[in-house]
Amino acid sequence: MFTRAETAPRHTTVSALQLADNFLDAAHFPTVHVRTFGTPEAAYVSPHHVERCGWELRTVYEAPYRNHDDPLVATGAHPLVQPHVLTKVGRPPASVYLTLDFPMTGRRLAILFVCQPETVDRTRVYKLMAHDGLAADDLAAFDDLIAYEDLVLDEDLAILERMPAMTLATDPRVEVHSTADKLSVAYRRVLAELQELS
């Protein structure tokens, strides 16, 4: 059974498209999320493919993760760095749905990011979580989850808000991409198609 929680909406000067692109990115975990779940082992992005259905994009891949939620880490029965399987679903223009499955604990965390453009240079971010390991009456665990997810977003915004331009290039030839950028490149192609329709 899943228990839902949500962070307070956040305002940022990062564009909605840049935020969505960041949420889809597979390679920034070890360098951006150093205080939360990032680990050097995640620098290698495992092979994966991107599926497209209409305007929706989807990929599944495995990555190492510092799992602070696992109570068996404290006892030494489980390591802190554990595998987790990410399913990322991009729903352009600026929504992303993630599921994080943890094989060692059998737990799942689902996160919905919705980025609402308010102006050209201002976005409101909504973040809704569903966790199958939280008791509905465990208020301290809810507070911990919300504080942790806020910290993860803080790490992203600390980098993104310093970007010199708040635009996202939809032409893949403008920037250099690696195989780890498959989902981001596919997302930008969909955005380019949407731009052509407008």
Q: What is the pLDDT averaged over residues 156-162?
A: 96
From 115, 117, 119, select the one nearest 22 (Cα to Cα). Answer: 115
pLDDT at 100: 96
Instruction: Identify the pLDDT of residue 193.
Output: 93
CA 101 centroid distance within chain: 13
Q: Tokens for 122? A: 């201002």
What's the pLDDT score for residue 166?
A: 83
pTM over 0.95: no
- pLDDT tens track for 42-94: 988 888 999 999 999 999 999 999 999 899 999 999 999 999 999 999 999 99
Q: Which residue has the higher pLDDT, 142 or 90?
A: 90
User: CB of 74 within 8 A of CB of 94?
Assistant: no
> Which residues are CB-neighbours of 94 under 8 A, at least 6 positions away?
16, 17, 19, 20, 114, 115, 116, 117, 123
Yes or no: is domain 3-197 CATH 1.10.1740.10?
no
The token pair that represents 157 in the structure block: 């915004």
